[in-house]
Amino acid sequence: MRSSIVHKHVLFIMAMLTRFVILSQPSLSELSKVIADIQKVKDKKDINNVCDETDGTGNWNIYCSGTILAAMNLHRLEVDSKTFVDRPLKADPQSILKEFEKQFGKLPLEKINAKKLVEFRKSFFGEPGMELKNCDILGWTKIPPKIARIKDKAL
């Protein structure tokens, strides 16, 4: 009997917490407004951005700002928003930007179909870490002498 009461209390608490979490999540339109406000601030000329067109990579308008990044973040395609910027490009940045414009045009961010956005991501972005290559470093020592002298068994 007692375990039944405890079980009911646990279920009640879980139901209440679930409602709280769902109700506390911002809607797509609320997130879209926040992103639009951020973009307005970024568009001001008196701000020095670390990640902007002067970085020399040509992909700043995908990974640092712009509609693609905003759409990916708004639709929460990744569990961690940093994962998207870890995905390497499968084509040159200008081609990707043109294709995004072609597929999604001037749609408001919240109106972009999330499934189509996932397909776009699969077509134009690789898996995180794919751009890394193994290399042999001259003079590399797996365990340098100073480290080897450490006698701490926990390490």
Per-residue pLDDT at 141 = 87
Sign of CA dihedral 137, 138, 143, 144: negative
User: Per the structure block, which two tokens stand in for 34?
Assistant: 């926040």
Whether the model pTM is above 0.75: no
Of the pLDDT bands very low, low, confident and very high (cuts 50, 70, 90), residue 114 is very high
pLDDT tens for each residue of 123-154: 999 998 877 788 888 888 888 888 888 888 77
Cα-based angle 14, 17, 18 (whole degrees, multiple of 5): 85
